């Protein structure tokens, strides 16, 4: 089961006209070969197959090749990878010594970021045409030769609290909450200063098993979108008292995003291209979702104005009400203490200006 809808119903039924891109490397037509690379996430292959099907329908493409992130990473030879890891290790050590909170992000800098570099090299060299990313893991500022061309219809953005006792956020005094996210940890202690937060690692099934085993965790925090994609939850709650599918002793509370702010880009899948690749841009835009794009542009621009990365403890909540875009944010200092907060609204047609106004409203 998947909850991602690839085609914007407001788009015309016919594919984009051949040759519409003026500064393209190649013409767009049925014989165009397009190569996608996955993001290394669970069920990525299934997602890419859905994207490929959407591209065939919308753009009239006949040949679409799908490669894994591992294939893309082989573009970097051993010497390049050695240099990348050495440089990143020095960078991480510097930050660990100066900012202890960054220690929680070591896994990202040492494991995930080199893979992002590998995909960028493959994209730049023309080995692939479109890279598919989970946007909450993509840096808010891309190099000028790359561009975020489109995003798919957004999945649910809420965070989910999973407990054994079914009490939801009414946790007992000094309860232990497990999470691997600095943003979630900061918000939990902001909303419930009495609880303890413990680091939690592993994939979703592993994290659920750690909670079910009755170890140190009284509750854990996970992304709703991931639980739905892995069939642990239905897309919409069938009953107020929910449990994890196949694990009836684990109870679920979907946290309202206006109370527990999600990460910028959470629940969204982005399509990255070379900036000058007109045909790939046309194809990406053909399966993109405009309302999600407007929200994502505002959220990522807000991160850029902050100078924040994708693992900085920032919560951003956006809604689209007709032609009005509404934004709220919590920005947590790494040294600790209460967050800076802000809120604003403005024309959805100008998401960058709305993001700028949100940045100015922080206090």
pLDDT in tens, 332-347: 987 778 999 999 999 9
Rounded Cα distance between 308 and 184, Å, is 16
Average pLDDT over residues 127-141: 82
> What distance in Å separates the CA atoms of residue 218 and residue 78, rounded to the nearest whole number?
43
Radius of gyration of the chain (CA): 21
Give the best-scoring range by mean pLDDT among 48-62, 88-102, 192-206.
192-206
Strands 340-347 and 324-331: antiparallel
Report whether pLDDT(110) > 50: no
Over 80: is that where the pLDDT of 12 sits?
A: no
User: What is the average per-residue pLDDT within 78-98?
Assistant: 54
Greatest extent of the chain over all pairs of C-alpha atoms, in Å: 64
Of residues 265, 330, 332, 326, the one with CA closest to residue 293:
265
Task: Please check whether the domain covering 159-254 is classified as CATH 3.10.129.10.
Answer: no
Fold of domain 290-363: Double Stranded RNA Binding Domain (3.30.160)
Reported as a pLDDT band with limits 50, 70 and 90, residue 351 is very high
Q: Which of 16-25, 253-262, 270-279, 348-357 has the lowest average pLDDT?
A: 16-25
Whether the CB-CB separation of 252 and 165 falls below 8 Å is answered with: no
Q: What is the pLDDT at residue 2?
A: 28
Judge whether 1-155+268-288 and 159-254 match in fold. yes
Q: Quick check: 72 pLDDT over 60?
A: no
Q: What is the CATH number of domain 1-155+268-288?
A: 3.40.190.10
- The full set of domain ranges for the chain reads 1-155+268-288, 159-254, 290-363
pLDDT tens-place string over residues 253-304? 999 999 999 999 999 999 999 999 988 899 899 999 999 999 999 999 999 9
Is the pLDDT score of 85 beyond 70? no
C-alpha dist (Å) from residue 263 to 1, 110, 187, 310: 24, 21, 11, 8
Catalytic residue among 129, 137, 218, 277: 137
Mean pLDDT along residues 140-157: 91
Is the pLDDT at 112 greater than 90? The verdict is no
Residue range 154-159: mean pLDDT, rounded: 92
pLDDT of residue 162: 97
137 is catalytic: yes
**Poorest-pLDDT segment among 84-88, 107-111, 147-151, 196-200:** 107-111
pLDDT grade, residue 83 (50/70/90)? low
Angle between helices 78-98 and 113-124 (to 10 degrees): 140
């Amino acid at each position: 089961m998947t909850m991602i809808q690839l085609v914007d119903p407001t788009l015309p039924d016919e594919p984009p006209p051949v040759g519409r891109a003026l500064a393209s490397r190649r013409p767009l037509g049925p014989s165009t070969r397009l190569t996608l690379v996955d993001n290394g996430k669970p069920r990525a292959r299934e997602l890419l197959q859905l994207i490929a099907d959407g591209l065939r329908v919308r753009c009239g493409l006949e040949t679409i090749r799908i490669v894994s992130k591992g294939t893309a990473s082989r573009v970097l030879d051993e010497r390049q990878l050695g240099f990348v890891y050495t440089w990143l290790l020095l960078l991480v050590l510097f930050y660990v010594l100066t900012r202890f909170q960054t220690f929680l992000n070591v896994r990202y800098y040492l494991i995930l970021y080199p893979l992002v570099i590998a995909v960028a090299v493959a994209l730049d060299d023309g080995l692939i045409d479109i890279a598919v990313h989970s946007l909450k893991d993509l840096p808010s500022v891309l190099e000028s030769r790359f561009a975020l061309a489109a995003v798919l219809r957004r999945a649910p953005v809420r965070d989910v609290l999973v407990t054994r006792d079914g009490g939801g956020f009414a946790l007992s005094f000094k309860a232990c909450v497990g999470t691997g996210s600095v943003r979630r940890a900061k918000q939990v202690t902001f909303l419930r200063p009495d609880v303890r937060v413990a680091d939690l690692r592993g994939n979703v099934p592993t994290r659920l098993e750690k909670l079910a085993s009755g170890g140190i965790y009284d509750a854990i925090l996970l992304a709703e979108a991931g639980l739905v994609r892995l069939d642990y939850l239905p897309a919409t709650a069938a009953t107020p008292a929910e449990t994890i599918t196949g694990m009836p002793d684990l109870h679920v509370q979907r946290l309202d995003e206006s109370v527990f702010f999600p990460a910028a880009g959470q629940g969204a899948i982005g399509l990255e291209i070379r900036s000058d690749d007109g045909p790939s841009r046309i194809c990406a835009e053909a399966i993109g979702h405009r309302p999600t794009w407007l929200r994502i542009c505002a959220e990522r621009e807000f991160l850029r104005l902050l100078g924040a990365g994708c693992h900085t403890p920032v919560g951003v909540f956006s809604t689209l009400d007709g032609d009005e875009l509404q934004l709220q944010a919590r920005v947590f200092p790494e040294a600790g203490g209460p967050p800076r907060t802000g809120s604003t609204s403005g024309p959805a047609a100008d998401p960058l200006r709305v993001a700028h106004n949100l940045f100015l409203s922080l206090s």
